[in-house]
Amino acid sequence: MVSSESTGAVAVVTGGSRGIGRAIVERMHADGARVVTCGRGARPAYLPDDVRWVRADVALPAEATRLVAEARDAFGPVTVLVNNAGVLVARTVAESTDDDWDLQVGVNCRGVFNSCRAVLPDMTEHGGVIVNIGSISGVVADLSSALYNASKAFVHALTRSIAIDHGPQVRCNAVLPGWIETEMFDEGFALARDPGAAVRDALARHPAGRFGEPADIANIVAWLASDQAAWATGQCFTVDGGLTAASPLRPESF
């Protein structure tokens, strides 16, 4: 099994322009992987010169195929795929439009599927690791985020299917972040009637005493991509500062 700690690793990270994706790109690069990342916009200024940027929308099958082909042409067969690209549509089922469906399912579901399908032929031959970024929202639903919640549950189920269908050549796991301080974090809390009170209440529910940082997720992704996690596959790893570990009963009630 390949290791991200070796310069032999070729890693594709989708959605690498900001937030968790940026942290994963920086960590994989620091570990010695040859990294290709992508997004729908221009090349981010933070990227080192030796990280390849591909302007691509992985929701489109041909774009995902091109992304993997460009990585292969530049560095060789892809040995690590991190599916990080995702969007949030904050609406209930009744409020959601067909366009909301196309965007949310297109990026969060079809984008992950397309990228996995594109790398599996090479990984089946040469070996490889897939890490999908899911969410605790695919296990415990957030308010007014029906399509997002459902899309992340899809990612978790797809992860298990890939592991059982394509092992032992391919290991596939998912990481389920909780509240991570990114742009999406700000967008989510902005929906509250009192964003400040919502942030304080959410923070009080974290046994770790803080919200997550993008590097917290990048650290476990790097571990799952490495040989140190060689016996981990088909699993969903929750990394949420303990948020979902607690009963809904509050300590002050007793």
Position 250 scores a pLDDT of 64
Alpha-carbon distance of 158 to 183, in angstroms, equals 26
CA 71 vs CA 31, 81, 177: distances in Å: 18, 11, 27
Question: 46 catalytic, yes or no?
Answer: no
Query: How crowded is residue 53: how many other Cβ atoms within 10 Å of its Cβ?
Result: 19
pLDDT digits (tens, 9 = 90+) for 181-230: 998 788 778 878 899 999 999 999 999 999 999 999 999 999 999 999 99
- Candidate list 148, 179, 211, 223, residue with the active-site label: 148
26-75 pLDDT, tens digit each: 999 999 999 999 999 999 999 999 999 999 999 999 999 999 999 999 99
Alpha carbon distance 191, 193 (integer Å): 7
Q: What is the pTM of this model?
A: 0.94
Q: What is the pLDDT of residues 70-125, one digit of tens each?
A: 999 999 999 999 999 999 999 999 999 999 999 999 999 999 999 999 999 999 99
Instruction: Give me the residues paired with residue 36 across strands.
Output: 12, 52
What CATH number matches the domain at 10-238, 3.40.50.720, 3.40.50.11540, 3.40.50.300, 2.40.50.90? 3.40.50.720
Domain boundaries, the chain: 10-238
φ, ψ (nearest 5 deg) of residue 13: -120, 115
Q: Name the residue among 19, 38, 32, 64 with its Cα closest to residue 222.
A: 32
Report whether the peptide linkage leading into residue 195 is cis, meaning its omega lies within 30 degrees of zero: no
Nearest to 56 by CA among 47, 48, 65, 45: 65
Read off φ and ψ for residue 89, nearest 5 degrees. -105, 115
CA distances to 3, 85, 135, 158, 191 from 142, rounded to whole Å, are: 35, 19, 10, 21, 12
